[in-house]
Structure 1
Amino acid sequence: MRDTLLGLSWHQIMLWACIFFGSLYWGMGALNQLITHHLMPALGHGRTLDPRPLGPGQQAREQTQSALSVLLFGVGSVVPWSFLQWGWARLAVNPSGWQIALEVAVLVVWNEVHFYANHWLLHTRWLRRFHLLHHRSVVVTPWSTYCFHPVEALMLGNVLLLPMLLHDFSVWALLSVPVFSIVFNNIGHSNFDFLPDADRDRWWLNGARRHHLHHACYHGNFGFMFPFMDRLFGTALPPDAAQAQIARHGRKP
């Protein structure tokens, strides 16, 4: 796999990366809807977090904008590939299973830190105009996951560059980042409470609850999937933060 990746041309890298990111986005989105709209309700488990209706044309807008993000991620993959070609970064040779597992764990934590920092910046007055496109989805869907302004897509999409300059990662660890990222992102944008017990808010699957609150309230809960960054910097929202907004919708005739 390592030699195959290094042997590709720049246009092959971009083509295969576009296919890779597109398959992740549309495949995981379809799987998410199957689970949250059919399987889980049939089992009588979980609940919808925000019952308010979607905005007009929301899902079509999300998928159209996400297609642009897929294109940007695909074209942008030539940057880390160039790091390897120029010798700025290297891939591990014959890594052990334990090394790959440890690298994936490190990248999961780094992804959380990187996302929190960039997400917080996107809520500052200098950059929030680029983030408002994503926040047009007040009630989230699985198709919201890549619905970014190009500036936001570039900010979030550079997550691998610094780690690659600091360590020789295995190709499998690097490829795991967009995979676990889309899985976590789909959970966060599922609008479905997989663990409705309020006392278990620390569970990672309750990232759906935390991110639903972020979209409903706009500020707070800047973390990606785990709560540790929000708790560290005091930006965590209480579990009932969106209760008033949802209740107002329920009182409408």
Structure 2
Amino acid sequence: MQAFLLESRWYEIILGGWLFFGFIYLSFGALTWLLTRHVLPRLGHGGRLDPRPVPQGQLRRELLLSASSVLLFGAGMVFPWGLLQLGWARLAVDPPGWRIVLEILALVIWNEIHFYANHWLLHTRWLRRFHLPHHRSIVTTPWATYSFHPVEAAMLGNIILLPMVVHDFSFAALLAAPLFSLLFNCIGHSNYDFLPDAHHDRWWLNGARRHHLHHACFHGNYGFMFPFMDRLFGTALPPQAAAERIARDLARTPDRRGRHVA
């Protein structure tokens, strides 16, 4: 695989990146939408976390911003490719299965740390303006997963560069990174309670609840899928942090007949 990548041209890498990121964005988004809007509701499992309606035009905006992120992520593939070309990074040759599993677990942990640090920075007054386009999706949808300003996309999209320099990862582990990252992202932006019987948002895999609260409240819950960074730095939101705000908005939102929702 390393030899194949070294022999590829830069424009082939970019084209392959565009096709890859576009495919996984559309596939994961459609699957999450189908699961949370049709399959699980019909089975009577779980339910929407934020009952407020999605504003008109939000989906179009999310798709357009996500398209720009896909283009940026695809073009950004020249950077890990360049590390291999320059000899600053190498791929592991025929690694055993257990090593691939450990590398994926290490990248999952690094992804959480990397995301938390960059996400916290994006909420500072110096960088907040680059994060506001993403936060226009107060009621989240799976299509908001890549709905970023280009600066934010560049900050969040460089996750594998540092790991590649410090360790010879397998190609399988590096390929898994954008896959599990997008999977976690779709869960976080699904606005769906997959685990209604779990204790509020404290269970480790309740990332959907935690990220719903982040979008509803803007500050707090800066972690990606898991809660350990927010617990470590004291930025975790309480389970009912957005309840009053949502109830207030619903009370003044007219339904289709012009009446206000009680």
CA distance in 1, matches of 2:160, 2:125: 26
Task: Give runs of aligned pairs for residues 213-252 of structure 1, distance below 5 A.
Answer: 213-252=213-252
C-alpha deviation, 1:203, in angstroms: 3.4
The 5-angstrom pairing of residues 122-133 of structure 1 reads 122-133=122-133
> Are the equivalent residues in 1 in contact too, given 2:200–2:239 (CA < 8 A)?
no
Secondary structure at 1:175's aligned position in 2?
helix
Aligned-partner Cα distance in 2 for 1:117–1:44: 37
Instruction: Return the letter of the residue paired with 2:232.
Output: L
How big is the shift at 1:204? 4.0
CA distance in 2: counterparts of 1:4 and 1:39, whole angstroms:
41
For residues 149 and 55 of structure 2, what CA distance do their matches in structure 1 show?
A: 18
Classify the secondary structure of the residue corresponding to 2:206. helix
- 1:188 maps to 188
- Residue identity opposite 2:34 in structure 1: L
Residue number in structure 2 paired with 1:174: 174
Contact 1:29-1:186 at 8 Å conserved across structures:
yes
Q: Is the Cα–Cα contact under 8 Å of residues 2 and 90 in structure 2 kept in the other structure? A: no
- The equivalent of 1:92 in structure 2 is 92
Match of 1:26 in 2: 26
Distance 1:60 1:178 in 2: 23
Which 5+ residue runs of structure 2 have no aligned equivalent? 253-259
Whichever residue aligns with residue 246 of structure 1, its letter is: I
Range moving further from structure 2, 198-207 or 242-251: 198-207
Write the distance in 1 (CA, Å) between the matches of 2:90 and 2:2.
Answer: 10
**Who is 1:15 aligned against?**
15
Partner of 1:162: 162
Aligned to 2:51: 51
Q: Quote the offset at 1:157 in angstroms.
A: 0.5
Amino acid at match of 1:23: F
Q: Residue 111 of structure 1 corresponds to which residue in structure 2?
A: 111
Distance in structure 1 (CA, Å) of the matches to 2:5 and 2:245? 49
**Number of residue-to-residue matches in the alignment:** 253
Shift of residue 246, structure 1, vs aligned partner: 1.1
1:148-193 Cα distance to aligned partner (Å, 9 max, x none) = 0000000000111110000000000001000000000000000000
1:64 is aligned to 64
Once the two structures are TM-superposed, the CA of residue 251 in structure 1 deviates from its matched residue by 2.0
AA paired with 2:91? L
Supply the distance in 2 between the matched residues of 1:8 and 1:202 (Cα, whole angstroms). Answer: 46
Report Cα offsets for 1:102-155 as digits up to 9, x if no partner.
000000000000000000000000000000000000000000000000000000
Identity %: 67
How far does the alpha carbon of each residue in 1:73-114 deviate from its partner, in whole angstroms, 9 at most, with x for none?
A: 000110010000000000001100001000000000000000
Letter in 1 for 2:244: A
Q: SS state of the match for residue 205, structure 1?
A: coil
Q: Tell me which amino acid in the other structure corresponds to 1:232.
A: L
Q: Is the contact between residue 29 and residue 186 of structure 2 (CA under 8 Å) also seen in structure 1? A: yes
> What CA distance in whole angstroms lies between the structure 1 residues aligned with 2:137 and 2:244?
18
Which structure 1 residue ranges, 5 or more long, are not aligned? none
Offset, 1:53 = 1.0
Structure 1 segments (4+ residues) deviating >6 Å: none
Cα offset, 1:199, TM superposition: 1.4
How far does residue 9 in structure 1 lie from its aligned partner after superposition?
Answer: 1.1
> Structure 1-normalised TM-score?
0.98
